[in-house]
Structure 1
Amino acid sequence: MTESSSEHAGTAVMEPGHGPMVRVSGLRRSFGSGPSAVHALRGVSFDIPRGELVALKGRSGSGKTTLLNLVGGLDEPDGGSITVDGTELAGLGEKGLLELRRDRIGFIFQSFGLIPILSAAENVGVPLRLRKAEPRAREERVALMLALVGLADHAAQRPGELSGGQQQRVAIARALANRPALLIADEPTGQLDAETGLAVMELLRAVVRSEGVTALVATHDAQLLQLADRVLELRDGEIVEG
C-alpha cells in the first residue's frame, strides 16, 4: 500500500522503529459460549511507548495472562487488533507469529521455564541456536547476558544447582539473548520471596534500560509496581490507568 492510498483509507501504517511499541485496540477474548462464557477481555485498548516498563496489575483471574498471551502472539483474540513493533498480528499466520516471537519478543515466566539438563549458559544460548547464530557470536552474547544479570561465575551450573532468584536471572538473560524489541513477563517474581523478588524486579528494570527494551510485566506486588514507568489495571475485562 502506498502512502497516499493508506492516507486515503484513513489508516496509519507503522514500521519497525516508529510509533508505539505496542498498540492494542478494542481487544476482546472470551472462553466458552452461552450463559457460562467467561469474558476475559472486553474491548481493551492501550498503547505502550518504546523504552517504557509498563506493569499490568489485576486480581487473580482478571485476564492478565490472557492479555500477555495475546500481545505475545501465543493466542488469538475474538476481536480487536494488536500491533507489535509496527507489525499487526492479525493475518500473520503461524509461521509469521513464530518468527515474531523468535526475533522480536522475549518471554519470562513465573515458573522460570529453564531446561534442567542444560547449564545456565546453554539455557541462555537456546534462542540463539534457534536463530542459527554463529557459534562465536553466540558464546559472546551468552557471556555478556550472564554478566549483565550477575551470573558470570555460574555459567556452568544447571538450574537445580541455582537458587530461585538465580534461575529467574538466567531466564531474564535468555529472554534478552536475541535482542528483542519487546519483553513480556508474567508474574516473574511470583515464586520468589519478597527481598529476592524486589532484587529481580530492579534488575529487570536496569537491563530494560541498558538493552533499550520495552517491557510489559504482570505483577500483583505493590512494591514492584512502584518500579514501573506506568501501571495498567485490568478490572472486569477492561483497562483502567493506574
Structure 2
Amino acid sequence: MTARPAGDEQGRPTAGTTAPLVTVEGVRKVYKSGPKEVVALRDVSFEAYPGELIAIRGRSGSGKTTLLNQIGGLDRPDAGRVVVAGHVVTELPETGLLELRRDVIGFVFQSFGLIPVLSAAENVGVPMRLSRTPAAERDERVRMLLSLVGLDKHVNQRPYELSGGQQQRVAIARALANRPKLLIADEPTGQLDSQTGRQIMQLLRALVRSEGVTALVATHDPALMTLADRVLQLHDGTLATADPLPAPA
C-alpha cells in the first residue's frame, strides 16, 4: 500500500509517509431490474489521503453516486472492501454505520437537504444535538462554521430566505459540524449556476485545507476539475483513469 505525506507547498498531497484515509478495494455493485442485471460498479479500487480533494467525474449513470454510497455506508457492495479512518465500512453492523455517519463522515447533497422551519444556525447545530454536544460548545462551533462559509450575517435566516448558493454553504457547514475526517459531496453544484458552483468548489477546497478533512466530490462539470487535487474518471462503473495532480487554479 502506497503512503503519502500531508502535502507540498500548495498543501496538495505528495508521495511519502501518510497512510490513506479511504481505501476502496475491488468494489462491485450489481442492481437487478427484472430478469436483467445492471453492473453499477466493476471492481473499483483507489485510495484517498488526508487533506486531499478528489473529484469523481463521469456522465449520469456512470456509477458516481453508487460509489459514494458504498464509501459512506449508505449501501453495501456485492463484493469488495471499503475502509474509512480505520473502520471497515463493508463489515460494520447498522449501529456501527450510524456512528460512522454521525462521527466520521459528513455528507453534502445536490438538494441541500436543509430543514425548512429551522434557521441557518439551527440547521448547522442539528448534528451536534444528535451527538449531545454541550450547548455552549455547540453554539460556538455553529458561529465559527457559519463565519467560515461566509454566512455570519445570515445565522437567523431560514432556507427559503437564502439563495441556492447560500443554502449549499449552510449544508457544507452542517456537514462539518461534528468535525468529520471525510466529506462526501454528491453533485454539490448541480442546482447552482456555473459561477456560484465554482465558488462552492473553491470553498470546499479551502475547507479541506483549513479543517484538515479529505473530500470526495462527484461532479460532471469539467470546469471544476482544476480545483481538485486528483480526478477519478468513472465510465460504466469502471474506474478508467486516476489523473495526476493538476496545476493549482
TM-score w.r.t. length of structure 1: 0.91
Asked whether the 8 Å contact 1:19–1:86 carries over to 2, the reply is no
Q: Does 1:173 align with 2:170?
A: no
Deviation at 1:236, TM superposition (A): 2.2
Question: Who is 2:192 aligned against?
Answer: 192
Q: What does the per-residue CA deviation read over 1:176-235, in whole Å, with 9 as the maximum and x for residues that have no partner? A: 111000000000000000011111110111011100000000001111111000000111
Q: Does 1:75 align with 2:68?
A: no
Distance 1:43 1:57 in 2: 17
Distance 1:70 1:235 in 2: 17
Distance 1:214 1:119 in 2: 28
Question: Who is 2:120 aligned against?
Answer: 120
Asked whether the 8 Å contact 2:27–2:43 carries over to 1, the reply is yes
Superposition CA RMSD, Å: 1.3
Q: How does 1:16-27 map to 2 (within 5 A)?
A: 19-27=19-27
Q: Which structure has more helix as a fraction of its residues?
A: 1
Deviation at 1:164, TM superposition (A): 0.2
Distance 2:122 2:24 in 1: 35
Deviation at 1:91, TM superposition (A): 2.4
**1:153 aligned partner, one-letter code:** K
Distance 2:56 2:33 in 1: 27
Deviation at 1:36, TM superposition (A): 1.3
Q: What does the per-residue CA deviation read over 1:109-154, in whole Å, with 9 as the maximum and x for residues that have no partner? A: 0000000000000000000000000000000000000000000000
Question: Who is 1:28 aligned against?
Answer: 28
Distance 1:58 1:91 in 2: 28
Indicate the SS of the match to 1:156.
coil
Question: Who is 1:211 aligned against?
Answer: 211
Distance 1:27 1:96 in 2: 20
Asked whether the 8 Å contact 2:81–2:90 carries over to 1, the reply is yes
Distance 2:195 2:45 in 1: 34
Distance 1:110 1:33 in 2: 26
Asked whether the 8 Å contact 1:201–1:224 carries over to 2, the reply is yes
Question: Who is 1:56 aligned against?
Answer: 56
Distance 2:201 2:100 in 1: 25
Question: Who is 2:46 aligned against?
Answer: 46
Indicate the SS of the match to 1:226.
helix
Asked whether the 8 Å contact 1:56–1:231 carries over to 2, the reply is yes
Deviation at 1:92, TM superposition (A): 1.2
Asked whether the 8 Å contact 2:53–2:215 carries over to 1, the reply is yes
Deviation at 1:35, TM superposition (A): 5.4
Question: Who is 1:15 aligned against?
Answer: none
How many residue pairs end up in the alignment? 226
Deviant stretches of 4+, over 2 Å:
none
Asked whether the 8 Å contact 2:73–2:90 carries over to 1, the reply is no
Asked whether the 8 Å contact 1:112–1:171 carries over to 2, the reply is yes
Distance 1:90 1:189 in 2: 28
Question: Who is 2:5 aligned against?
Answer: none
Q: Among all aligned residue pairs of Structure 1 and Structure 2, give the percentage whose two residues are the same amino acid.
A: 66
Question: Who is 2:231 aligned against?
Answer: 231
Asked whether the 8 Å contact 2:55–2:217 carries over to 1, the reply is yes
**1:204 aligned partner, one-letter code:** L
Asked whether the 8 Å contact 2:28–2:79 carries over to 1, the reply is yes
Indicate the SS of the match to 1:153.
coil
Deviation at 1:50, TM superposition (A): 1.2
**2:174 aligned partner, one-letter code:** R
Q: Does 1:102 align with 2:126?
A: no
Deviation at 1:34, TM superposition (A): 7.5
